[in-house]
Amino acid sequence: MDTDKTKNEIKERENAGKEMTSDDALLNEVTEGDYKYGFVTDIDTDIIPVGLDEDVVRLISRKKGEPQWMLDFRLKAFRYWLTLTPPKWAHLKIPDIDFQAISYYAAPVKKEGPKSLDEVDPELIKTFDRLGIPLQEQKQLTGMAVDAVMDSVSVKTTHKEALAERGIIFCSISEAVRDYPDLVKKYLGSVVSYKDNFYAALNSAVFSDGSFVYIPKGVRCPMELSTYFRINASGTGQFERTLIVADDDSYVSYLEGCTAPMRDENQLHAAIVEIVVEDRAEVKYSTVQNWYAGDKEGRGGVYNLVTKRGLCRGDYSKLSWTQVETGSAITWKYPSCVLAGRGATGEFYSVAVTRNYQQADTGTKMIHLAPDTRSTIVSKGISAGHSENSYRGLVKVTPAAEGARNYTQCDSLLLGSECGAHTFPYIDVMNPSAVVEHEATTSKISEDQIFYCNQRGISTEEAVGLIVNGYAKEVMNKLPMEFAVEAQRLLAITLEGSVG
Amino acid sequence: MNALNQYTDLYEANRAAVDAGSAPVLNRLRPEALDALKRIGRLPDKSDEGFEKTSVNDMFAPDFGVNINRMSLPVDVASSFRCGVPNLSTLLGIMVNDRFMPTATLVGNLPQGVTVCSLAKAAAEQPALVERYYGTAARADNAGTALNTLLSQDGIFIHVGKGVRLDKAIQIVDIFHSAFPLMAARRVLVVAEDGAKVAVLKCDHTQTGSERCLASEVIEIFAGRGAEVEWYDIEESDGSTSRYSQLYARQEGGSSLTVCGSTLTNGVTRNEYHIDVCGEHTVTHLSGMAIGSSSQHIDNFSVLRHGACHGHSDQLFKYVLDERSTGAFEGSIEVCHGSRFVEAYQSNRNILASKDARMHSKPQLLIYNDDVKCSHGATTGQLDEKAMFYMQTRGIPREEARRMLMQAFMADVIDTIALEPLRDRLRHMVERRFAGEKAGCRDCGAGC
C-alpha cells in the first residue's frame, strides 16, 4: 500500500511538474512579447507585376470576372485618384510610399474555387488554424461564421447555408458582385465615396476582396459574423472592402481580425468599410487589429490606412464601433458614424496601444445630422517605447440636429519617457440645443497604485498589466466575449517589456 | 485672391519710406521677414490646419490704406479719450492707429528702472536693449508675424528693470481713427527683467464710423527669472474692425505669467497666444472670454509649450454666442521631451444662445513625456433650464435670469484677473454687454 501511495505521490508530483511547465509555457507565451503571427505560409500565389495603371485596374477586374459597371466604377476611382496627393495632416511620419512598387493583386492559386472545405489548399487551412481561425465546419460549435481573406481574395466563408436560411447574405464581395449585383450597386460607395480621400480612391480602384453582409428586415443574426484578414505574399498590399447592410429592425455583430507575416519591408493595407443601418437596426462592429507592427528598431510593419464609416440612415438606428489596435507600424483610421436618422445612436470604443516605433493617429467622427441623435466616444490610448499615439476625433452637430447629445472621453496612459500621447478633438456645434462634452486626461500610471500592488506581493510588471487592463476595461467590456479574451491577452503581450 | 501680395508690393515699392519712419533696429528684420513671406507665399486661410474657421487671407484682402509715410492726424483723438478704471490709477499710453502717444502720466512720472515709450523711440535711443529682445520670441516663419515685422514702424516698448516691482498698472488704449479703410501694424514689446513685476492693461476701440479697419498686432512678452507679468486685453471695437493679434511670451525659471483676453464687441478677431515656458518652476494662467452677438467672429488659438520641468499652467476659455455670431477655439498644451513634473490643464466652455450661433472647438494635448499630469475639457451647450426655472419661480423675469446666468458663467474668467479694480470694472462691462449696451467709461465723451 505504502509503495502504491508513494508511487501515486510521485505521479502526482510529476503531473504537477508537467502542469507547471505548461503553465510556464503559457506564461512565456504571454510575456514573450514577440509577434506570434509572423510566419509565412508557403503557398502558390498568383501575383500580378508591381505597378499601377489603368491596365492593372482592368486586369484585376478581369481576374475577378467582374461586370462592366464594376470596371467603370474602378476606372472612375482610379482616374480621380491620379489627381490626388497623400494627406499630410495626421500627426504621423509616413515615409513616401511608392505606389508603383506594390503589387495590387495576389491570390493563393486555387482550382475552380473551393466547393467544400476538402478542396481548399491544406496549407491554407493550416495557416488559418495557426491563427486560431476555425475554418472547419465541424468546429463551428463556437457559433461564429467566418470569412477568411488571404491577400487579395476571400478563401472560404463558413456557415453560409445556415445563414441563408434566414435570408442573411454573408459572402465575399466578389461573389456579391456576381450574385447580388443590385444590392452591391445600390450600396457600394454610398457611404464612402471614391472621392472621399486619397486612400479611399485607391481602394475603390484596386480593391480585391472583402466581405459583404446583408441582414434582411427584422432578422436578428443568430451568430457573430467574422472576417479574418491575412497578408501573406511579400511586396503586395491589401485593399479589401467590406460592405454591411442592416435592413429595418435587424441586428448583427461583426468581428474583424487581421495579421501579417514579419517582414523588413513595409506593406500597405488600405481598406474601406461601409455600413448602412436602416430603421431601428443595430450593427456592432468589432476589430482586433494585430497587423505586424515592425521590429524593435521600427523596421518593417504594415501601414494601416483605412477608411471606415457607417451611415445610420434609419430612425433610431444604432452603430457601435469597438476597436483594439495593437498592431501596424502606422495606423491612420477613423471609424465614423453619420447619424442621419432621427434618434440614431453612434458609439465608438477604442483601445490603441503603441510601442517601439509604432505610430497611431486614430479616432472617430460623429456627424449629427438629425434631431435627438446621440453619440458616445471612449478612447483609451496607451503609449510605450518610442511610439506616438494620437486621438483625433470630430463631433459635428449640424443645425438640424435638435437636442443632439455627445459625450467624449479620451484618456492617454504613458509608459516611458520617450513616447508621445496626443489628443486632437474637433468639436463643431451649430445647434444651441445640443450638449457636447469632451474630456481628456494624460498621465502615467500612478506610483501609489504600483506601490499598493507591490505591497500585496504583485510584481511591478504584473501590476502594470493589472492596471492597464483595468484602464482598458470599459472598452474591452464592449467586445463580444470570444474577442474580449483574445484582446486582453493581446494587450498583455503587447505591453510586455514596455515597463522599465 | 492672394491678399499678401498687396502688402509685400507696397513694402517693396516704399522700402525707403517705411525705413525712414522707423528705427534701424526695427528695419534690420524687414528683409528677413520679406524673404519668409515670399517663401510662405500666402496668408493662412480656412484650408490650413488651425485656421478652420478664420481666413486670415480674407481679413487682409480688402484694399486697406497703410500709413507708411507717418502722416499725422488732423485731430487730437487721444485727448478726448478717458478709458478709466475706477479706483485704479494707471500709467496711460495711447496708441492711435499705429502711432504711440504718451500722456502726462508717463512724462516724468515713471519710477526708476521703468521705461514706457514709443518702440521706435526706444529703438533709436537704446538700440542694444531693444535689439536683444525685438523679434526674438515672435516666430519669423509665421506669415502673420512676418507681415507685421515687415510693416510695423512703431509700437510700445515697456521695460521694467531688474528687481523693480511696478505697483501702478500700465494702461494702453488702442484707438482706430480714420476716414478711410486702414490697416495698422502695431507692435508691443514688454520686457520684465529678473525679479521684476508689471501689469499691463490694454483696450481696443474703433472710431472710424463705418470704415473698415484692420489691426495686425504682434506682442512679445519676456518674463525674466522670478518675474511676474500680467497682461490684460479687452477688445471693445465695432463690427467694422478686424483684428489679428499674435502674442508671444517667453517665461524664464520661477516666473509667473497671467494673460487674459476678453472680446466684448468686435468684427472679426483672431487672437493667438504662443507661450513658451523655458525655465523651471513657472506658473502660467491663460484665459479668455468672448461674448458674441450680431455677426461677430471670435477665434482664440493657444499653444502653451512646456519646455522645462515643474511647470504649472491653467488655460480657461469661455464663450457665449448669440444671434449669428461664431466662435472658434483651438488650444494646445505641449509638453516637450524631458519636461518632467508638469501639470497643465485646459478648459473650454461654450454656450450657444441662438440657433444661428456656431462654435468650433479644438482642444489639444501633445505630450512627449510620461511624468506629467495634463487634461483638457470642452463643453458646448446652453444655459441650464432648471436654473432658469428656479430663478423664474423666485420672480426673476426670464430675460433677467438669462443675463444673470450668463454673467455667472463668465465669473471664473474674470476671477483670473489679479487686479481687483479691473475685475470689478470688467464685471460691470460684461453686465452692460449682456444687457446689449456698450460699457462707456466715466468722463469719456468718445461713446465707444
Task: Give just the sign of the alpha carbon dihedral A21, A27, A30, A32.
Answer: negative
Mutate to test the interface with A, among B301, B350, B371, B380 (most CBs of A within 10 A): B380
Distance CA B105, CA A99 (A): 69
Distance CA A441, CA A271 (A): 31
Mutate to test the interface with B, among A377, A386, A414 (most CBs of B within 10 A): A414
* Arithmetic mean of pLDDT, A132-143: 49
Confidence label for A373 from pLDDT (cuts 50, 70 and 90): very high
Nearest beta carbon to residue B370 from set A414, A427, A441? A414
> What global pTM score does this model have?
0.82
pLDDT score recorded for residue A226:
79
Nearest beta carbon to residue B367 from set A421, A430, A434? A421
Instruction: Provide, as residue numbers in chain A, all residues whose Cβ is less than 8 Å from the Cβ of B350.
Output: 429
**Which residues of A have a CB under 8 Å from any CB of B?**
89, 91, 399, 412, 414-444
Indicate the domain borders of chain B.
Answer: 1-222
Nearest beta carbon to residue B360 from set A424, A428, A431? A428
Q: In this complex, do A419 and B370 lie within 8 Å of one another by their Cβ atoms?
A: yes
Give the phi and the psi of residue A7 in degrees, each rounded to 5: -55, -45
Instruction: Provide, as residue numbers in chain A, all residues whose Cβ is less than 8 Å from the Cβ of B382.
Output: 432-433, 435
Q: In this complex, do B377 and A439 lie within 8 Å of one another by their Cβ atoms?
A: yes
Mutate to test the interface with B, among A368, A417, A495 (most CBs of B within 10 A): A417
ipTM value for the complex: 0.78
Nearest beta carbon to residue A442 from set B355, B365, B379? B365
Q: In this complex, do B359 and A423 lie within 8 Å of one another by their Cβ atoms?
A: no
- The alpha carbon of residue A349 is apart from the nearest alpha carbon of chain B, in Å, by 19
* Arithmetic mean of pLDDT, A106-123: 56
Q: Is B49 on the interface with A (CB under 8 A)?
A: yes
pLDDT score recorded for residue A215:
92
Q: In this complex, do B364 and A442 lie within 8 Å of one another by their Cβ atoms?
A: no
Distance CA B343, CA B340 (A): 9
Nearest chain A Cα to B359, which residue? Answer: A429
Mutate to test the interface with B, among A405, A424, A468 (most CBs of B within 10 A): A424
Q: A169-172 and B99-102 as β-strands: parallel, antiparallel, unpaired?
A: unpaired
Using the predicted structure, report yes or no on whether residue A138 has a pLDDT greater than 70. no
Q: In this complex, do B378 and A427 lie within 8 Å of one another by their Cβ atoms?
A: yes
Q: Is B375 on the interface with A (CB under 8 A)?
A: yes
Q: In this complex, do B371 and A430 lie within 8 Å of one another by their Cβ atoms?
A: no
Average pLDDT taken over every residue of chain A: 79
Burial of residue B121, with CB atoms counted within 10 A of its CB: 0-12 exposed, 13-18 middle, 19 or more buried: middle
pLDDT digits (tens, 9 = 90+) for A454-485: 999 998 888 888 888 888 888 888 887 767 77
- Three-class secondary structure assignment of chain B: CCCHHHHHHHHHHCHHHHHHCCCHHHHCCHHHHHHHHHHHCCCCCCCCCCCCCCCHHHHHCCCCEECCCCCCCCCCHHHHCCCCECCECEEEEEEECCEEEECHHHCCCCCCCEEEEEHHHHHHHCHHHHHHHCCCCCCCCCHHHHHHHHHCCCEEEEEECCCCECCCEEEEEEEEECCCCEEEEEEEEEEECCCCEEEEEEEEEEECCCCCEEEEEEEEEEECCCCEEEEEEEEECCCCEEEEEEEEEEECCCCEEEEEEEEEECCEEEEEEEEEECCCCEEEEEEEEEEECCCCEEEEEEEEEECCCCEEEEEEEEEEECCCCEEEEEEEEEECCCCCCEEEEEEEEEEECCCCCEEEEEEEEEECCCCEEEEEEEEEECCCHHHHHHHHHCCCCHHHHHHHHHHHHHHHHHCCCCCHHHHHHHHHHHHHHHCCCCCCCCCCCCCC
Q: Is A273 helix (H, G, I), strand (E, B) or coil?
A: strand
Q: Which residues are within 8 A (CB) of A278 and not within 5 positions of it... i.e. 6 or more apart?
A: A245, A246, A247, A248, A250, A313, A314, A317
Instruction: Provide, as residue numbers in chain A, all residues whose Cβ is less than 8 Å from the Cβ of B352.
Output: 429, 431-432, 434
Q: Is B225 on the interface with A (CB under 8 A)?
A: no
A480-484, B239-243, B280-284, B362-366: range with lowest mean pLDDT:
A480-484
Give the phi and the psi of residue A147 in degrees, each rounded to 5: -115, 120
* Arithmetic mean of pLDDT, A123-129: 63
A118-132, A361-375, B413-427: range with lowest mean pLDDT:
A118-132
Q: In this complex, do A427 and B377 lie within 8 Å of one another by their Cβ atoms?
A: no
Q: In this complex, do B352 and A429 lie within 8 Å of one another by their Cβ atoms?
A: yes
Burial of residue A49, with CB atoms counted within 10 A of its CB: 0-12 exposed, 13-18 middle, 19 or more buried: exposed
pLDDT digits (tens, 9 = 90+) for B341-396: 999 999 999 999 888 999 999 998 888 888 888 888 889 888 888 999 999 999 99
Q: In this complex, do A438 and B381 lie within 8 Å of one another by their Cβ atoms?
A: no
Using the predicted structure, report yes or no on whether residue B219 has a pLDDT greater than 90. yes
Confidence label for A491 from pLDDT (cuts 50, 70 and 90): confident
Distance CA A227, CA A70 (A): 23
Contact B279, B306 (CB under 8 A): no
Instruction: Provide, as residue numbers in chain A, all residues whose Cβ is less than 8 Å from the Cβ of B309.
Output: none
Q: Is B31 on the interface with A (CB under 8 A)?
A: no
C-alpha cell at B122: 526706444
Q: In this complex, do A421 and B358 lie within 8 Å of one another by their Cβ atoms?
A: no
Q: In this complex, do A417 and B369 lie within 8 Å of one another by their Cβ atoms?
A: yes
> What is the maximum alpha-carbon separation in chain A?
87
Instruction: Provide, as residue numbers in chain A, all residues whose Cβ is less than 8 Å from the Cβ of B353.
Output: 432
Q: Is B126 on the interface with A (CB under 8 A)?
A: no
Provide the b/e sequence for A160-189 (b: ≥16 CB within 10 Å): eeebeeeebbbbbbbbbbbebeebbeebbb
Instruction: Provide, as residue numbers in chain B, all residues whose Cβ is less than 8 Å from the Cβ of A446.
Output: none
Confidence label for A189 from pLDDT (cuts 50, 70 and 90): confident
